Amino acid sequence: MKVTHDISALCPVARALECVGDSWTLLILRDAMQGARRFDEFQRGLGIASSMLTRRLDRMVASELLERRCYQQHPPRHEYHLTAKGHDLAPVILMLYRWGERHLPIEANAFYLIDRQSQQPVDPILYDRLQQRPLAPGDVSMAPGPDASPAVHVRVERMRKALERGTSSDSLMEVTPIMRQTDITSDSIND
């Protein structure tokens, strides 16, 4: 995805999608978070063509999501390790997992997320550290920053009006009560 519109260049979501905006990148990140390091591990786990995997890994290294480390000199072989920037996408992967389970369920139950210490199932949530509470989409609005263009002001005002009408998203009312019932202690993906 190439960001070309002025408002998109100011938007953190558009900039993030410019960096990670295809499914292969997110799946490579998922596998790296699950311990894959070597080219053949990614290829075997994803079933991706080697030329496509090479391009994605090169782009992810250039975007500083992964770091390439040599583990063998002759012939040269590399491992790919998550950088801090790549690791910071873990909450995105966890929320995609949660969304997929909720909205695209299948009958098979091959695995589920558990807390590493208690070994009990977890249900990832968004958690606001500043307000010290779970965060639902209906709890969030936007405020223009000091560099906001007129287009940003229009977008902020549109969102404010939609929230007042209760129409910013058809799903907000459905999602909010479920998220608020979730335990806010150690299950947070932002801890």
For residues 67 and 100, state if they share a domain.
Answer: no
Q: Of 69, 87, 105, which marks where a domain is finished?
A: 87
In this predicted model, what pLDDT tens digit does every residue of 144-176 receive, in sequence order? 999 888 988 999 999 888 888 876 554 343 333
pLDDT at 76: 92
For residues 82 and 101, state if they share a domain.
Answer: no
Q: Is residue 1 part of a domain?
A: no
pLDDT band of 138, cuts 50, 70, 90: confident
Q: Of 43, 72, 87, which marks where a domain is finished?
A: 87
For residues 76 and 11, state if they share a domain.
Answer: yes
Q: What is the DSSP letter of 97?
A: H
Distance (Å, whole) CA 123 – CA 115 = 10
The total domain count for the chain is 2
Residues comprising the chain, all counted? 191
Q: Of 87, 109, 126, which marks where a domain is finished?
A: 87
pLDDT at 97: 94
Task: Choose among 129, 56, 137, 128: nearest CA to 99.
Answer: 137
For residues 11 and 81, state if they share a domain.
Answer: yes
CATH number at residue 63: 1.10.10.10
Give the residue carrying structure tokens 């053949």: 40
N- to C-terminal Cα separation, the chain: 30
Q: Is residue 153 part of a domain?
A: yes
Residue 38: give the domain boundaries: 6-87
For residues 36 and 69, state if they share a domain.
Answer: yes
Cβ atoms < 10 Å from Cβ of 65: 24
For residues 76 and 124, state if they share a domain.
Answer: no
Q: Which of 46-50, 130-134, 177-181 has the lowest mean pLDDT?
A: 177-181
pLDDT at 6: 59
Average pLDDT, the chain: 84
For residues 108 and 157, state if they share a domain.
Answer: yes
pLDDT at 36: 97
Percentage of the chain lying above the pLDDT 70 cut: 83
Q: Contact 160/97 with Cβ under 8 angstroms? A: no
Q: Contact 145/110 with Cβ under 8 angstroms? A: no
pLDDT at 174: 38
For residues 58 and 80, state if they share a domain.
Answer: yes
Q: Is residue 186 part of a domain?
A: no
Q: Is the pLDDT of residue 134 over 90?
A: yes
Q: Contact 131/188 with Cβ under 8 angstroms? A: no
pTM of the shown model: 0.77
For residues 57 and 119, state if they share a domain.
Answer: no
pLDDT at 186: 33
Q: Is residue 75 part of a domain?
A: yes
Q: Is residue 187 part of a domain?
A: no
For residues 76 and 128, state if they share a domain.
Answer: no
For residues 97 and 171, state if they share a domain.
Answer: yes
